[in-house]
Amino acid sequence: MDLFPPFEPHASGMLPVGDDHLIYWEVSGNPDGPVVAFVHGGPGAGTAPAYRRFFDPGFWRIVLFDQRGCGRSRPHASVKANTTAHLVADMEKLRRHLGVDRWLLFGGSWGSTLALAYGQAYPEACTGFVLRGIFLFRPHEVDWFLSGMGHFFPEAWRRFIGHLPVLERSDPLAAYMRRLNDPDPSVHLAAARMWCGYEEACSRLMPPASQAEGDGPGSLSMARIEAHYMVHEGFLEPDQLLTGLGRIRHLPLTVVQGRYDVVCPPATAEELVREWPGSVLRIIPDAGHSAMETGTRVALVEAVEAMKSRIRR
């Protein structure tokens, strides 16, 4: 089963969450159905209409939202008061605002990080998890992003590191942080394009033939907020998401993982599942990191379909 046909939201709005932030939210699907929340990646990526289509609109009440600083949330690309704790609190505020009792959390990459952090803070509000491309924000995972991916995509890494002066290449995260937060648009936009181009080039088993820069409208929020979180180690305690699993591992979990996911290698997904009895790990043999690769896309839809009978409403 592939993605469901396109459909539109029946409600949307901007929720004030404090610190001058407004977050965009939308609801689609069955107004009386069990709730599923799409937790997007990045941090800083935002949502898109295609993401509704992982879910059966005749069954689920579907919640999409843009985290602080990205997508349609405002102010755009802001790292002010933007931490994991803030995002977890925003999710809980949104849940209460929408009158949701409990929801299934669906997230990939950073979305898996935030879904686990929220679940451990509010386990009573969760019915289960469908996750992809597990990222636990440990130092070795960040180091892998900054340099390890270059072992598989050396040309992309050369473009990424080559944007920096030679004397700054020993600490690319700090160097990119300076540029991404520079007030001059010619500086921060150029750095954002290179950062996002690097990640995009490494995100698929079969990357596009030519992908030198990430030129999407969300490139600044993606790059600036992602680097902000990396500098601060995800605003998490060491191994926080593994040591806190006791609060949520009674809930159902399915993980969909591309075998050749270079951004979030399968070892982390396997580690999480080993610590979660009864969880399901589906390795997709012909996929990388992107949720939209065919095998991953189909497996995610199937995982959500299977949750119809596994969750307790």
With H, G, I as helix, E, B as strand and everything else as coil, classify residue 110: helix
Cα 15 to chain centroid distance, Å, stands at: 20
Catalytic annotation, pick one of 40, 261, 279, 290: 261
List the Cα angle 235/228/125 in 5-degree steps. 45
Residue 140 is among the residues annotated as catalytic for this protein: no
Catalytic annotation, pick one of 28, 73, 78, 109: 109
Residue 109 is among the residues annotated as catalytic for this protein: yes
Distance, CA of 167 to CA of 171 (rounded, Å): 9
Catalytic annotation, pick one of 21, 221, 289, 290: 289
Q: How far is CA 27 from CA 11, 12, 115, 122, in A?
A: 5, 6, 18, 21
The DSSP symbol for 155 reads H
Report the Cα–Cα distance between both ends of the chain, in Å, rounded.
24
The DSSP symbol for 303 reads H
Distance, CA of 114 to CA of 107 (rounded, Å): 8
Residue 279 is among the residues annotated as catalytic for this protein: no
157 φ/ψ angles, rounded to the nearest 5 degrees: -65, -35
Give the DSSP per-residue string, 51-89.
GGGGS-TTT-EEEEEPPTTSTT-BSTT--TT-SHHHHHH
The helix (H) or strand (E) run that includes residue 128 is strand 126-132
Distance, CA of 87 to CA of 118 (rounded, Å): 8
Strand-pair partners of 65: 25
Question: Which amino acids are annotated catalytic?
Answer: 109, 261, 289
